[in-house]
Amino acid sequence: MDVTPMSRWIKVGTLEQIPRLGARVVQTRHGPIAVFRTADDAVFALLDQCPHKGGPLSQGIVFGHHVACPLHNWSIHLKDGQAEAPDEGCAKRFQVKQDQEQIFLDIGD
């Protein structure tokens, strides 16, 4: 993968490789990261682990800017990983950006 020395942005694929209202997984040393694409073509990245019992969020149904966890249907905010009340918990969030159809992820150190 491309790593420009000045930044930690890593190219992980293109927008069209992710289905609209869907997600794909990027395998990293932190574990799997789910990259979501919403109906308005925004992208979000969360650790692929539900704060409830670790369900793979990448497999859930995406709606609005939320994903419904496939295991017990918690609703997770894509922008910050927070579980919707009354549930409590937070999935780790990663920085992600688009540049001309390319998607870049910052997985930190």
Partner 1 sequence: MKKMKLVMVGNGMAGVRTIEELIKIAPDLYDICVFGAEPYANYNRILLSPVLAGEMTVKEIMLNDVEWYQQQGIELHLNKKVVHIDRVNRKVLTEDGMEQVYDRLLLATGSNPVVLPIPGKDLPGVITYRDIYDTHAMIEAAKQYRHAVVIGGGLLGLEAANGLNLRGMAVTVVHLGDWLMERQLDKVAADMLKSSLEKKGLSFLLNKQTTVINAGPDGRVESIGFSDGQTIPADLVVMAVGVRPNEELAKASGIHCLRGVVVSDTMQSFDPKIYAVGECVSHRGVAYGLVAPLFEMSKVCANHLAQLGIGRYEGSVTSTKLKVTGVDLFSAGHFQSDADTEEIVLHDAAGGVYKKIVLKDDKIVGSVMVGDTSDGAWYFQMLREKQNVAEIRDHLLFGQSHLGNTGHQGQSRAAEMADSMEVCGCNGVCKGVIVKAIKEKGLFSLDEVRKHTKASSSCGSCTGLVEQILASTVGGAYAAQPNRNKPLCGCTDHTHEETRQVIRSEHLLSISAVMDFMKWKTPNGCASCRPALNYYLLSTWPHEALDDPQSRFINERAHANIQKDGTYSVVPRMFGGVTTANDLRRIADVVDKYQIPTVKVTGGQRIDLLGVKKADLPKVWADLAMPSGHAYAKALRTVKTCVGSEWCRFGVQDSTQMGIQLERTFAKMYAPHKVKLAVSGCPRNCAESGIKDVGVIGVDSGWEIYVAGNGGIKTEVAQFFCKVKTAFEVLEYAGAFLQVYREEARYLDRTVHWVARVGLDYVKKRVVEDEESRKALYGRLLYAIQDEKDPWAERTLGLSRHEFEPLSVLD
Binding region for partner 1 (CB under 8 A): 1, 10, 12-13, 17-22, 24-29, 32, 35, 39-40, 53-56, 59-64, 66, 68, 70-73, 75, 86-87, 107
**Closer to ligand FES by Cβ: residue 53 or 97:** 53
Neighbour tally for 91: CB within 10 Å: 25
Distance CA 87, CA 8 (A): 33
Least Å from the CB of residue 80 to partner 1: 19
Residue 54 or 64: the one with the smaller Cβ distance to ligand FES is 54
The token duo for 41 is: 């073509």
Residues paired with residue 77 on neighbouring β-strands, in sequence order: 66
